[in-house]
Amino acid sequence: GAVVSQHPSWVICKSGTSVKIECRSLDFQATTMFWYRQFPKQSLMLMATSNEGSKATYEQGVEKDKFLINHASLTLSTLTVTSAHPEDSSFYICSASRSDRRDSPLHFGNGTRLTVT
C-alpha cells in the first residue's frame, strides 16, 4: 500500500510555456503533500508543502507565482511551472504521508523530469 503516482514521468516544453505535474495518492488520503526538486548530484530540495483546502507553504527562495501548487482533494496535488525557462529544467518529485497515521513516512512518486528548451 501507500502508492504515490506522479504524472508525467518526463516532459519537454518550450521556454515560456507552462507545465502541470500531477501527484496522486492512490490508496490513501494525504492531507499534506510535499514537492521536492533535485538538481544533478545534489540533495532533495523541499520547494513547498501542499495542504488540502488551503494555500501551499513555500520554502524560502521558491517563487510561489512561478511554481503554482493546488491541493484540491485529499488525493491530488498539482504543481504548475509557469513561464518555464531552461533553468527550471530539473527532476521534480512529490511525496505524501498518510493522513490516518501520524507516524507515517513519506511516500514518493517516481518523479518528473522536466526539460525546458
In the complex, which residues of this chain contact another protein (CB under 8 A)? 4, 6, 34, 36, 41-44, 46, 49, 91, 93, 95, 97, 102-111, 113
Least distance from another protein to the Cβ atom of residue 54, Å: 14
Alpha carbon 31 to its chain centroid, in Å, reads 14
Neighbour-count burial of 91, counting CB atoms closer than 10 A to its CB (0-12 exposed, 13-18 middle, 19+ buried):
middle
Residue 82 or 108 with smaller CB distance to another protein: 108
Cβ atoms within 10 Å of 39's Cβ, excluding its own: 11
Residue 57 or 70 with smaller CB distance to another protein: 57
The Cα 45–Cα 63 span in angstroms is 14
Residue 20 or 113 with smaller CB distance to another protein: 113
Least distance from another protein to the Cβ atom of residue 39, Å: 10
The Cα 7–Cα 107 span in angstroms is 15
Residue 76 or 91 with smaller CB distance to another protein: 91
Least distance from another protein to the Cβ atom of residue 97, Å: 6
**Terminal-residue alpha carbon distance, the chain:** 37
Least distance from another protein to the Cβ atom of residue 83, Å: 26
